[in-house]
Amino acid sequence: MRVFLSLALWFILLVLCWPLALVMLFVFPLVWLILLPFRIVGFTLDVVFSLIKGILLFPFKLVKAI
């Protein structure tokens, strides 16, 4: 649904101001490439914190199971 909405908004922009719409075709992929490392770092930190949480809570799960 998000892609469809973006595409519809882009076509509206194309009708209203086609030079700006063509610029956006080049700007959006560049912004996505610039922000990609931050998304990867965020995903990595989420996984690391989940692992640390699992390691710290493991003894309590063992005690609870007994």
Chain segment 19-42, per-residue pLDDT in tens: 999 999 999 899 999 999 999 999
- Give the integer Cα–Cα distance in Å for 27 and 19: 12
Nearby residues of 7 by Cβ (< 8 Å), 6 or more positions away: none
What pLDDT band is residue 55 in, cutting at 50, 70 and 90? very high
Q: What would the pLDDT profile of 42-52 be if each residue is shown by its tens digit?
A: 999 999 999 99
DSSP structural state of residue 42: H
Please choose, from the candidates 3, 31, 29, 25, the residue with its C-alpha nearest in 3D space to the C-alpha of residue 13. Answer: 25
Domain positions in the chain are 2-65
Nearest to 25 by CA among 5, 44, 7: 7
